[in-house]
């Protein structure tokens, strides 16, 4: 379907000796509404972002189309819709779920008309991520979030305590019903679903069961209602918080991955019950090996920096979602992608003194 919004053609030079130097995945950034302004959009583009991961602007075509056109003014393409899509009544099978399902169907149809191809959602009973601290010291005095299952949840964006306890069996049934409703719309309009795992990745979060906390369970979701549009948001930090091998998991899931969250963590336990977040270039995940696994899997989806430490001059009112750390992470991820691609895809021909591309991707 033709897009209503068109992206301005970039004047940047994206080739060296006729060979593209664009990253093999689309480098995106999510700016929460509090910091989504003209200056920060310019900074994101200057730091290397090509794509925007957009919080839901509303359920009318006009709202989405206007948002997409606004991003296009900065040569930023909206490729994913993520966050702030009400779905708690669907997850818990509460009155009002029909309206929420109808809104998501409308959103997907609007996304197709605006050229947005991926919808990221979650099945967390608490509506979004949970942390118990937001001011753990990191490199140079930066502040990051952490989780200890023994402690009380801290205030972070998106988290919402539900009064209803929904059993694991009910969560699975509600998810299956949701997928049966939504996937035919996704297939019709060629929009991918990308399910984010439960964060923190534990089977029971303060008395509330969770069902999407490891690779086996998120793969089960893809098999629950088989469809090429039924995919995964691969959140490295969430799976690593449980001690899961990230490169091996990328290889296992392959093209089921429709969207990537790139962050890093240091685990105290390998069961998701205690960890803290850190810089993308520090932590338990070997980020080069992870990026190489994405390349080897042939992925071309959007990758974005996920939670980042709060840096000097920032007030920590948006833990995990301030700007400066995201700009650092953009450069780091861009460098990783270039390093992986050049080491795998180029060989030096000394006789011609040029680089030649070899296509050896999976």
The CA distance from 41 to 45, in Å, is 6
Cβ–Cβ contacts within 10 Å for residue 86, how many?
A: 14
In a domain, 121, yes or no: yes
Q: Residue 140 has what pLDDT?
A: 97
Number of folded domains in the chain?
A: 1
Q: Residue 23 has what pLDDT?
A: 73
In a domain, 140, yes or no: yes
Q: Residue 350 has what pLDDT?
A: 37
Q: What is the mean pLDDT of each run of 10 residues along the chain (362 residues)?
A: 44 41 86 95 97 98 97 96 96 97 98 98 94 97 97 81 88 98 98 98 96 98 97 98 97 98 96 97 97 96 98 97 98 96 61 46 53
Residue span of the structural domain in which 122 resides: 15-357
Q: Residue 127 has what pLDDT?
A: 87
For residue 9, what is the DSSP state?
P
Report phi then psi at 208, rounded to 5: -105, 120
In a domain, 60, yes or no: yes
Q: Residue 9 has what pLDDT?
A: 39
Q: Residue 2 has what pLDDT?
A: 45
**By the 8 A CB rule, do 142 and 310 touch?**
yes
The CA distance from 22 to 15, in Å, is 8
Length of the chain: 362
Q: Residue 21 has what pLDDT?
A: 53
Cβ–Cβ contacts within 10 Å for residue 62, how many?
A: 11
Q: Residue 18 has what pLDDT?
A: 39
Domain CATH for 63: 3.20.20.150
Q: Residue 15 has what pLDDT?
A: 41
In a domain, 141, yes or no: yes
Angle between helices 168-189 and 97-113 (to 10 degrees): 30
Cβ–Cβ contacts within 10 Å for residue 199, how many?
A: 27
Q: Rounded to two decimals, what is the model's pTM?
A: 0.90
In a domain, 9, yes or no: no
Q: Residue 155 has what pLDDT?
A: 86
In a domain, 8, yes or no: no
């Amino acid at each position: 379907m033709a897009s209503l919004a068109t992206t301005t053609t970039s004047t940047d030079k994206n080739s060296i000796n006729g060979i593209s130097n664009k990253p093999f995945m689309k480098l995106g950034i999510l700016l929460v509404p509090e910091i989504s302004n003209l200056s920060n959009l310019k900074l994101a583009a200057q730091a290397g972002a090509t794509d925007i991961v957009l919080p839901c602007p509303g359920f009318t075509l006009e709202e989405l189309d206007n948002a997409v056109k606004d991003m296009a003014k900065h040569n930023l393409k909206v490729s994913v819709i993520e966050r702030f899509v009400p779905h708690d009544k669907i997850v818990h099978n509460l009155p009002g779920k029909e309206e929420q399902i109808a809104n998501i169907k409308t959103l997907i149809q609007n996304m197709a008309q605006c050229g947005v191809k991926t919808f990221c959602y979650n099945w967390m009973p608490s509506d979004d991520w949970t942390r118990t601290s937001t001011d753990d010291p990191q490199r140079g005095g930066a502040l990051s979030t952490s989780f200890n299952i023994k402690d009380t949840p801290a205030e972070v964006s998106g988290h919402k305590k539900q009064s209803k306890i929904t059993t694991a069996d009910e969560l699975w049934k509600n998810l299956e019903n949701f997928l049966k409703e939504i996937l035919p719309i996704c297939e019709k309009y060629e929009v991918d679903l990308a399910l984010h795992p439960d964060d923190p990745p534990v089977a029971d979060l303060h008395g509330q069961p969770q069902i999407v906390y490891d690779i086996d369970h998120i793969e089960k979701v893809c098999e629950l209602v088989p469809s090429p549009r039924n995919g995964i948001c691969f959140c490295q930090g969430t799976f690593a918080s449980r001690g899961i091998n990230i490169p091996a998991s990328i290889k296992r899931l392959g093209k089921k991955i429709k969207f990537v969250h790139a962050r890093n963590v240091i685990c105290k336990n390998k069961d998701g019950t205690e960890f803290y977040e850190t810089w993308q270039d520090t932590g338990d995940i070997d980020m080069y090996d992870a990026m190489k696994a994405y390349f080897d899997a042939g992925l071309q989806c959007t990758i974005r920096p996920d939670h980042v430490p709060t840096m000097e001059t920032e007030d920590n009112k948006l833990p995990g979602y301030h700007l400066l750390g995201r700009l650092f992470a953009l450069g780091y991820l861009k460098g990783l992608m270039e390093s992986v691609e050049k080491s795998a895809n180029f060989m030096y021909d000394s006789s011609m003194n040029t680089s030649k591309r070899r296509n050896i991707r999976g």
